[in-house]
Amino acid sequence: MEALATHLLLDLKRCNSALLDDLDFVRRSLIDAVAEADATMVGESFHKFAPVGVTGVIALAESHISVHTWPEYAFATVDILTCGPKVKPRRAADLIIHRLESEEPSITELQRGTVRELSTITQQ
């Protein structure tokens, strides 16, 4: 089934809490993941919470990568939504898992917008 987009949902448990609270490190990790996936970055926004936590999003020509961290629980969530045949979202996921030192990562993969389904809708 051909899909328009692949959406990876990462739950990263047992991460390095100090890394999760380091805005520059989290930002650099996501930027490196964009390169690893062969994607094209078109914008970014990151925020450091007080007392702890980081959130951020990188807009891609091919969609986006976002992160939210809970250092106090050694936990982070990451969404990687990509479209196009050249982008490799699993490579981005692997890099982020490694960088945040998650000892218990899980990845849920969704195929979004199947071409067959959408073609039927537009023909109605």
Q: List active site positions.
A: 63, 68, 83
CA–CA distances in Å: residue 81 to residues 16, 73, 108, 110: 24, 25, 12, 9
Tokens matching residue 105: 């990562």
* 92 touches 80 (CB < 8 A): yes
With a CB cutoff of 8 Å and minimum separation 6, the contacts of 120 are none
**The tokens of 84 are what?**
């196009």
Would you tell me how many other CB atoms lie within 10 Å of the CB of residue 10?
20
